[in-house]
Amino acid sequence: MSNYKTFVIGFPRIGAKRELKFAEEKYFAKEISCEELESCAKALREYGWKKQSTAKIDFIPSNDFSYYDAMLDVAVMLGAIPSRYKSLGLSALDTYFAMAHGYQGEQGDVKALPMKKWFNTNYHYIVPEIEQDAKISLNAEKILAEFSEAKAMGIETVPSVIGPYTFLHFATYAQGKSRDDYAEDICAAYKKLLEEASAAGAKWISICEPALVFDTDSSDVKFFESLYKNILDGKKIKVILQTYFGDIRDSYDAVTALPFDGFGLDFVEGNETLSLVKKSFPKNALLFAGIATGKNIWRADYAKAASLLAEIEKSVPRENIVAGFSCSLLHVPYTTRNEEKLSAEILKHFSFAEEKLSELSDIACGKTNSELFEKNRVSPNGDVQNALKNLRDADFVRKPDFAEREKIQKKEFNLPPFPTTTIGSFPQTREVRKNRADFKKGVITKEQYVEFNRKKIAECIRLQEGLDIDVLVHGEFERNDMVEYFGNNLEGFLFTQNAWVQSYGTRCVKPPVIWGDVSRKNAITVEWSAYAQSLSKRPVKGMLTGPVTILNWSFPREDVPIKEQTLQIALAIRDEVLDLEKNGIKIIQIDEAALREKLPLRKSDWHSQYLDWAIPAFRLVHSGVKAETQIHTHMCYSEFNDIIRDIDEMDADVITFEASRSDLKILDALKEANFRTEVGPGVYDIHSPRIPSKEEIVSALEKMVQKEPVEKLWVNPDCGLKTRRDSETFESLKNLVAAAKEMRSKYDK
């Protein structure tokens, strides 16, 4: 039998050793030129194309590279650039970066566009903004240039672009405007894109419409149909409709009736995809079947993939099936070849982007790898399993109730109105990173490592006291990443050297791997927190990462349910919470930044498949503390409005939210839900180098008091400050405290 043809939706773009990140940071610091940055980008594009060509992938994408984000690229392609960025008078590239992370300089002062999580991943996209008088028109220069670049290398690619339906789904509009107002112009732009791609020599183009996997009503389906009946009319190029992250059950019949030449469907996360295809599939179209995960790093089970392909073949001829991954490989690291410290016995179970290309070729030609799956990788931990079995309903409920605790804590802490705090981390300077690296390499002793960190903690405490911040943090100088640090101190985790994945822009993360059952082997943060608290009479927060975030920002096991893995982590972090309390830490922050990340994309699945165990997992962590101990949590860069009542059920005492980039829109949701928990919506964006003025922060706080009682409001930045410079941090926090004091003078009557 002939082999299946193969396709890839997207390839990682940051570089196997984060080359793009470092080049962009040098460019921002004016250490390299635009041409030097582009040279780095070109090398990364060529690397990906060559790897896919060598693996004999039949449909190789182009335009999957981005300097920052693909949604931002589409905004630029369509001319949806807000006037405040255009008016800066910057170059095209610098205007692009101003939209991504803000600008503060001689030409002006503008905030970045909002940033949100991309579906159910830890990747963040830039939210496009379409102004009142925006005129949508095509600029396909980037797409055509990268297609031609690959062609010059002798590699035929499929230009790939996010489609108009998904772009308009995620965009924000001027008051009174909706997606319908831009339909005609956006159709004209995409229609012209097909013409220009065809004229450039492209035989296929892939238009990605992942927004179809959300709950979709009849008006959405009709809108989608109206767009593509127009766009596809008279086309001279073959068009793939690519979806991922789920199935398109609500629109399948209408979508497959349109004259696309190929349909990209997800058979991994798409629970109903196989049954939809079995019911019907267009006779002459190609099926781009996502039959192996593009999100996780475990080796694919070839037998399962072969079985799935065999099922598909019952409805679609073999010659019309193209095998690939469920989504872009953007969400996995580059290659296991750069992992020198993990044993061959461990690495044989891992598959990063380059290895997945080889796997795809193996699956396409019918190879087997059954020996990997003949026995369990690890043995269960009896103590962990028993602890799970012994959990009772009372373990998930904190006593006394929220209202009683609130009274006790008001008396305990006696904080002023608009209490000020930060989210946890302070700038990770070169010296801080070097101290950790030298200790890890054995260049310095543990005593030297501890002495350095204690010195930095003391400086951080003095700085915060000097700024007159009310609730302090120790700065987290001992930590690399908020998840990796805890994983390093828990049994059951493995760590890589270079398994970097892009989270947003220049921000990359190296997720831990959950290898076996999880437990705490020793106290993790107690020594640092207790030392910091000994230096001040003000409360110093203990800083922890919550179980759901640790799970969501790791590569989880695929042989154990996610719920069970999360509860194991929750029990481990619970031990840490109770130890912090025993050592005099009266405020403990348990961050759940990624709570929403794994929320099912369809609302009907929200509770049964996720929230019904994720919220209790958080409660399990803190249910054993005293009433006097104040529990904080933090969340960022996701749409929380529609689960705001579930968030209240976490039963924390204080919740801080990222809010500044989204113009404090969460306030309306808090008010509507009668949110009981005290809140600190972020008053400035820490992912931008710009320094907010006191007046800007006062303005944000004035918006807050219109929606929330003064006695429930905290004042804090959006997130931790680890990515910022010392000077930016000092000036921003100085203005934050000044703003809080101005608000006190006005409202503390």
In this structure, what are the phi and psi dihedrals at residue 505, rounded to the nearest 5 degrees? 45, -120
Give CA torsion, residues 282, 284, 285, 287, to 10 deg.
Answer: 80
In the 8-state DSSP scheme, what is residue 475? B
Residues 500, 503, 507, 510: is their CA dihedral positive or negative? negative
- As a three-state string, the secondary structure of 693-749 is CHHHHHHHHHHHHCCCCHHHECECCCCCCCCCCHHHHHHHHHHHHHHHHHHHHHHCC
Two structure tokens written together for 446: 């543990």
- Distance, in Å, from the CA atom of 278 to the CA atom of 668, rounded to the nearest integer, reads 44
DSSP reduced 3-state for 351:
coil
- Distance, in Å, from the CA atom of 454 to the CA atom of 535, rounded to the nearest integer, reads 10
DSSP reduced 3-state for 7:
strand
- As a three-state string, the secondary structure of 79-138 is CCCCHHHHCCCCCHHHHHHHHHHCEEECCEEECCCCEEECCCCCCEEECCEECCCCCCCC
How is 20-44 classified by DSSP, letter by letter? Answer: HHHHHHHHHTTSS-HHHHHHHHHHH
- Distance, in Å, from the CA atom of 463 to the CA atom of 475, rounded to the nearest integer, reads 11
CB atoms within 10 A of CB 339: 18
- Distance, in Å, from the CA atom of 444 to the CA atom of 442, rounded to the nearest integer, reads 5
Two structure tokens written together for 206: 């892939």
Go through the chain and tell me how many residues it has: 749
- What is the CB-side half-sphere exposure of residue 295 using CA atoms within 13 A? 24
Q: Tell me the C-alpha to C-alpha distance, in Å, between residue 556 and each of 99, 218, 254, 494, 500.
A: 34, 36, 36, 11, 16
DSSP-assigned beta bridge partners for residue 69: none
Q: Are strands 103-105 and 108-110 parallel, antiparallel or unpaired?
A: antiparallel
Cβ neighbours of residue 527 closer than 8 Å, sequence gap 6 or more: none
Q: Which of 142, 197, 195, 187 is nearest to 167 (CA)?
A: 187
| Cis preceding linkage at 400, omega within 30 | yes
- Count helices and strands in the chain by DSSP H and E runs: 28, 23
The residues assigned a catalytic role are 687
Looking up tokens 């005290």, which residue turns up? 678
Q: Which of 364, 294, 279 is nearest to 329 (CA)?
A: 294
> Of all residues in the chain, what percent are helix, strand and coil, respectively (each to 5)?
45, 15, 40
- What is the CB-side half-sphere exposure of residue 248 using CA atoms within 13 A? 23
- Distance, in Å, from the CA atom of 415 to the CA atom of 614, rounded to the nearest integer, reads 31
Q: Tell me the C-alpha to C-alpha distance, in Å, between residue 42 and each of 34, 330, 569, 628, 694.
A: 12, 17, 42, 57, 42
In this structure, what are the phi and psi dihedrals at residue 52, rounded to the nearest 5 degrees? -70, -35
In the 8-state DSSP scheme, what is residue 233? T
